């Protein structure tokens, strides 16, 4: 069942909220040894929440379209009373005393947190292999990566051990694991969802979004989490006052007449697997058949997207992660004899390799003498990228592109080659640099039966348009309905 179907069944009393929660927790207990999607399961808390929501529903309260639905939360989103460690030894054992705004909103909407999902350490990565508790395995082929950094959330949905999940996307971390695992996700416009309680990686790029079995589930949950929070000023970059409201009526799926979609032709010229290319171009044809007009264009600045992103993301990461010093926050080494030893050893022992690499890169590009040459140039490039998108959206309603150049690769294949790993983000990072929304949707499989995804990118706050188009696509195709075998 999709999350919306599950909520409807609960409302009709076909099953109780406690049954819904127990079923999923049992399924996690049975299956998660194979995929390692969860870092924590909050059974007792979830069951007691379930009871409270059942009471409200029994009293006839119309809570929300997703009331009674269990949800999995990425391990970098603060959950009161449930360990939130960003899959890092640095935060191992940390149990927040407050909820992120998105969690407050989900709980008000009657949704129940059942556990935290595995990820790349501090959301830095594209494969979900660097978490302290080991790699997430792709449910379609357990020897392969699930994509990252929200790999646990995407894998949990693909395997059917959670009905819906939250992820975060700094440079592709919702969309890319969705593509690798064959599920649907939305990365909202920067400023549409409060980041209060999201443990920061790169604050000017981070955004929380939804991962689910289809676009309607993702959109329904985005309605719930979007909009600023009741206590003003907790995230001053969250600038929409009221939440999104989409038309998700099944009888109301229109066509795409009059919609203009831009296709960046240089995305398909080199560096992309031929099977990915074929499937993504077929998705464009499908949208054309639904009434959209497709026009090719040349994406400018392509050589600068990855460098600009990695300079900015690492610079912000080095600053954000400076708080983990063994004193104020996080893991403290037992071996430090002097103050500087405590700092050095705590950080050396508490962080993994990729996180350290990025802190070093970030500190370097921000250091005096290099700041102008790297960081300032990257910011100027970011402004050019934003300008380029502004021009494109004066011509097109949306842009269609691949999510990743390949399907899921073997675990261990890229961990020692950071540049190769970073190049896998070529189609996703510019969207974050420009603060735009994008929806990732499954569009086929390669010969090895591994899922392929594409993304629809829109102008700022054009989520409704993207969701309408995505609904048209999913009403005409069945890719999102495929499930991997082997899970109960």
Measured from the CB of residue 365, what is the shortest distance to ligand GLN in angstroms? 15
State how far the Cα of 136 lies from the Cα of 364, in Å rounded to an integer: 31
The answer to whether the beta carbons of residues 395 and 263 sit under 8 Å apart is no
Measured from the CB of residue 227, what is the shortest distance to ligand GLN in angstroms? 22
94: phi > 0 → left, psi -120 to 50 → alpha, else beta; which?
beta
Q: Give the DSSP H or E segment for 312.
A: helix 302-320
Report angle CA 331, 335, 336 to the nearest 5 degrees.
85
Alpha-helical runs (H) found in 142-270: 151-159, 175-181, 215-225
- Stretch 292-321 residues interacting with ligand GLN (CB under 6 A): 313
* Interaction mask 143-182, ligand GLN, x per CB under 6 A: ------x-------------------xxxxx---------
Measured from the CB of residue 169, what is the shortest distance to ligand GLN in angstroms? 5
State how far the Cα of 12 lies from the Cα of 14, in Å rounded to an integer: 6
Our CB check for ligand GLN shows the closer of 159 and 404 to be: 404
Torsion of CA 327, 330, 332, 333, to 10 degrees: -140
Q: Considering only 124-132, 228-236, 339-347, 388-396, which stretch makes contact with ligand GLN by CB under 6 A?
A: 124-132
Torsion of CA 392, 393, 399, 403, to 10 degrees: 80
Which residue's Cβ has the minimum distance to ligand GLN? 173
Task: Please give the structure tokens belonging to residue 457.
Answer: 């990118």
- B/e letters for 81-108, b = 16+ CB within 10 Å, e = fewer, are ebbbbbbbbbbbebebeebbbbbbbbbe
The active-site residue, picked from 18, 173, 318, 462, is: 173
Measured from the CB of residue 85, what is the shortest distance to ligand GLN in angstroms? 16
Our CB check for ligand GLN shows the closer of 24 and 304 to be: 304
Our CB check for ligand GLN shows the closer of 123 and 261 to be: 123
- Stretch 44-103 residues interacting with ligand GLN (CB under 6 A): none
- Stretch 177-236 residues interacting with ligand GLN (CB under 6 A): 201
Our CB check for ligand GLN shows the closer of 125 and 330 to be: 125
Please count the residues of this chain forming the interface with ligand GLN, following the rule CB under 6 A. Answer: 13
Measured from the CB of residue 449, what is the shortest distance to ligand GLN in angstroms? 24
State how far the Cα of 202 lies from the Cα of 164, in Å rounded to an integer: 25
Residue 176: HSE in the Cβ half-sphere, 13 Å Cα cutoff: 36
User: Which of residues 68, 110, 126, 209 is near ligand GLN by CB under 6 A?
Assistant: 126
Measured from the CB of residue 149, what is the shortest distance to ligand GLN in angstroms? 4
Q: Is 173 a catalytic residue?
A: yes
Our CB check for ligand GLN shows the closer of 149 and 226 to be: 149
Interaction between residue 125 and ligand GLN (CB under 6 A):
yes
Q: Is 74 a catalytic residue?
A: yes
The active-site residue, picked from 18, 22, 42, 74, is: 74
Our CB check for ligand GLN shows the closer of 24 and 324 to be: 324
Measured from the CB of residue 245, what is the shortest distance to ligand GLN in angstroms? 27
Which runs of E-coded beta strand occur in 446-481? 451-458
Contacts of 246 (CB under 8 A, 6+ apart): 219, 220, 222, 223, 463, 464, 467, 468
Our CB check for ligand GLN shows the closer of 40 and 202 to be: 202
Alpha-helical runs (H) found in 63-142: 101-108
Contacts of 142 (CB under 8 A, 6+ apart): 34, 35
The helix/strand/coil state of 299 is coil
State how far the Cα of 338 lies from the Cα of 322, in Å rounded to an integer: 18
User: Which of residues 123, 162, 220, 470 is near ligand GLN by CB under 6 A?
Assistant: 123
Measured from the CB of residue 123, what is the shortest distance to ligand GLN in angstroms? 4
Q: Could you tell me the end-to-end alpha-carbon distance of the chain, in angstroms, rounded to an integer? A: 13
The active-site residue, picked from 42, 149, 168, 179, is: 149
State how far the Cα of 416 lies from the Cα of 421, in Å rounded to an integer: 9
Report angle CA 345, 419, 206 to the nearest 5 degrees.
70
Our CB check for ligand GLN shows the closer of 111 and 312 to be: 312
Q: Is 149 a catalytic residue?
A: yes
* Interaction mask 335-374, ligand GLN, x per CB under 6 A: ----------------------------------------
Measured from the CB of residue 60, what is the shortest distance to ligand GLN in angstroms? 42
What radius of gyration do the chain's Cα atoms show?
21
Our CB check for ligand GLN shows the closer of 226 and 414 to be: 414
Q: Which residue numbers are catalytic?
A: 74, 149, 173
Binding-site ranges for ligand GLN (CB under 6 A)? 123-126, 149, 169-173, 201, 313, 425
């Amino acid at each position: 069942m999709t999350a919306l179907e599950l909520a409807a069944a609960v409302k009709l009393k076909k099953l109780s909220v406690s049954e819904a929660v127990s079923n999923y927790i049992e399924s996690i207990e049975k299956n998660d040894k194979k995929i390692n999607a969860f870092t924590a399961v909050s059974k007792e808390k979830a069951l007691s929440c379930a009871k409270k929501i059942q009471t409200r529903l029994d009293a006839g309260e119309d809570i929300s379209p997703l009331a009674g639905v269990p949800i999995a939360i990425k391990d970098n989103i603060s959950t009161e009373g449930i360990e939130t460690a960003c899959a890092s030894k640095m935060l191992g054992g940390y149990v927040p005393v407050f909820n992120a705004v998105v969690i407050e909103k989900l709980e008000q909407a009657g949704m129940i947190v059942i556990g935290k999902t595995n990820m790349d350490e501090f959301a830095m990565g594209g494969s979900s292999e660097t978490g302290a508790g080991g790699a997430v395995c792709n449910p379609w082929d357990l020897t392969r990566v699930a994509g990252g950094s929200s790999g646990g959330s995407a894998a949990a949905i693909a395997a059917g051990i959670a009905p819906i999940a939250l992820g975060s996307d700094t440079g592709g971390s919702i969309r890319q694991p969705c593509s690798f695992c064959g599920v649907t996700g939305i990365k909202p416009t920067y400023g549409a969802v409060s980041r209060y309680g999201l443990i920061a990686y790169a604050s000017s790029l981070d955004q929380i979004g939804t991962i689910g079995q289809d676009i309607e589930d993702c959109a329904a949950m985005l309605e719930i989490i979007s909009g600023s929070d009741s206590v003003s000023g907790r995230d001053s970059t969250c600038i929409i006052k009221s939440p999104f409201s989409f038309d998700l009526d099944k009888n109301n799926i229109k066509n795409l007449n009059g919609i203009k979609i831009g296709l960046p032709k240089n995305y398909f010229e080199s560096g992309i697997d031929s099977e990915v290319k074929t499937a993504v171009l077929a998705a464009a044809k499908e949208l054309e058949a639904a009434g959209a007009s497709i026009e090719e264009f040349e994406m400018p600045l392509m050589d600068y997207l990855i460098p600009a992103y990695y300079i900015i993301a690492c610079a912000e990461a080095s600053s954000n992660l400076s708080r983990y010093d063994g004193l104020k926050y996080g893991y403290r080494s037992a071996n430090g004899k002097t103050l500087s030893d405590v700092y050095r050893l705590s950080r050396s022992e508490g962080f993994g390799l990729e996180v350290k690499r990025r802190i070093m890169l970030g500190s370097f590009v921000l250091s005096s003498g290099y700041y102008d040459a790297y960081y300032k140039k990257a910011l100027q490039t970011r402004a050019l990228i934003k300008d380029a998108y502004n021009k494109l959206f004066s011509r097109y309603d949306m842009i269609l592109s691949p999510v990743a150049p390949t399907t899921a690769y073997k675990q261990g294949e890229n961990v020692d080659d950071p540049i190769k790993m970073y190049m896998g983000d070529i189609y996703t990072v510019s969207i974050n640099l420009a603060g735009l929304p994008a929806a990732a949707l499954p569009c086929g499989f390669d010969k090895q039966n591994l899922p392929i995804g594409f993304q629809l990118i829109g102008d700022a706050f054009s989520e409704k348009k993207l969701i309408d188009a995505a609904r048209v696509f999913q009403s005409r195709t069945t890719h999102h309905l495929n499930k991997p075998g082997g899970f109960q």
